[in-house]
Amino acid sequence: MATAMLTCSCCLRFKYSPEEIEQRHKSQQIDRMIERERQSLRRQVKLLLLGAGESGKSTFLKQMRIIHGLRFEPEVVREYQQIIYQNVVRGVRVLVDARNKLGIPWEHESNAHAGEMVLRSDPNNFIEPVPFTRLCPSLQALWNDSGIKTAFQRRSEYQLSDSVGYFLDNLPRISRLEWTPSNQDILHARRATKGVVECVIPIRGVPFRFVDVGGQRSQRRKWFQCFDSVTSILFLVSSSEFDQVLLEDRRTNRLEESRNVFDTIVNHLAFGNVSTILFLNKTDLLLEKVRSGLSDIRNHFPQFSGNPSEPTDVQTFILSLFSSVVKRRRRSGAFGGREGEERTQPLFHHFTTAVDTENIKVVFGAVRDTILRRNLEALMLQ
């Protein structure tokens, strides 16, 4: 056997020129590299974060970084500081405009001037600490006015970011020149995701690739380019938005929009063997809205038959809206079971608060173990 191999090696030397032999070696190295990458991709867990706009996908991805010890770089923290300044100024402008349009009187008429000044302001002029700090006394006076507080309580009637209340409650801290955003501040910072954002985090020796795609209608056409080799879909829903309409058309109920998008995804043929995990997010805001009695879910979903002031009844109803659209389909056999057998796609769900690190840590712990187990099963069958 050794002689035969030597003979072949000698023949190779006479048959090919040195340049050709070098090219063959390079080709073999590339083939080995491609095979290593292929094996690595097989081990990789790819999680697709989907959901309508403002459902909390980007916040969830930030939590993954925080929970797994990936610090935000100084330049990223600096960028979030500017985003937060803009969130505050834009939020107050929306509140002042809403107060005007809703005909809510000022508690202190002297705040009318501050309100007009903020309305005329460009948020981009206040992304640095000094100009923002100079504006803060006016912002604080407006936030303290009962007219603005009443407009804030009626925020389901217009478009206001969920984070505005958090930042205005923390304005004395944020207005300090030496302030640097904390992780909690960064979690509340709001910037619409444009395009596709990916983040790879090693978890228990396995690379988890999180793919966050913008949820606004204009961004959804980019979802399909991310469908390849998906391990699981994490679909996020803003459960507190049962009484709000879309920013895009000002007519469509946000919860109905999320349900329609979920229907399209969970029943898509491309995901026949992909587990879908439903995160009914913003539980904290939902509980606050239900318990306050300021909004009755029956006004938006007449089919609701429970107690509109009981959070458990409301959560059970919202879950049923989504679980009811999951259809039966034929099994391909990739995760066991008989080929061609009809079954209902299993729907795992969790009630979450994406800005609560402890909550997401517990929830993702359960999700992670399920995903790793299913991924191992898939690898063994390949």
- Residue at token pair 């969790």: 350
The dihedrals phi and psi of 249, each to the nearest 5 degrees, come to -130, -5
Residue length of the chain: 382
Q: Are the beta carbons of 18 and 200 closer than 8 angstroms?
A: no
Q: Are the beta carbons of 333 and 378 closer than 8 angstroms?
A: no
Q: Which tokens is 323 given? A: 């679980």
The catalytic residue positions are: 54, 59, 190, 212, 216
Q: Which tokens is 182 given? A: 């904390």
Distance CA(222)–CA(67), nearest Å, equals 28
The dihedrals phi and psi of 132, each to the nearest 5 degrees, come to -65, -45
Helix (H, G, I), strand (E, B) or coil at 205: coil
Helix (H, G, I), strand (E, B) or coil at 131: helix
**Amino acid in position 221:** R
Torsion of CA 212, 287, 89, 158, to 10 degrees: 90
List CB contacts of 242: < 8 A, sequence separation 6 or more: 253, 254, 255, 295, 297, 300, 301, 314, 318
Sheet holding 206-213, edge to edge: 196-203, 206-213, 45-50, 232-238, 275-281, 347-351
